[in-house]
Amino acid sequence: MTNKRNGTIYIGVTSNLSGRVYEHKEGRGGVFTRKYSLKMLVWYETYPSVTDAIQRETSLKRWPRKWKLDLIEKMNPVWEDLYLSF
């Protein structure tokens, strides 16, 4: 989630992506996402288990910002709001 191209980035885990993004868009996300108005889904990955997803989340949160930006750019070079594709 982000608020604009190259803006603040939020990484999280959910079992219901469209529902969780909707909550963020309605201002019912967590404190961090509300504080920075993070309402655009610009990147996501899916995993077969919650354990795998949490491990990936933990890893990504340790990555340098540049790597995260590169990951987003690879999947979504124009930073479209991918929520609209659900």
Domain limits, the chain: 17-85
Residue 38: count of CB within 10 angstroms of its CB: 23
What's residue 85's pLDDT? Answer: 87
pLDDT in tens, 67-85: 999 999 999 999 999 998 8
CA distance 39 to 44: 14
CA distance 47 to 37: 26
pLDDT in tens, 39-78: 999 999 999 999 999 999 999 999 999 999 999 999 999 9
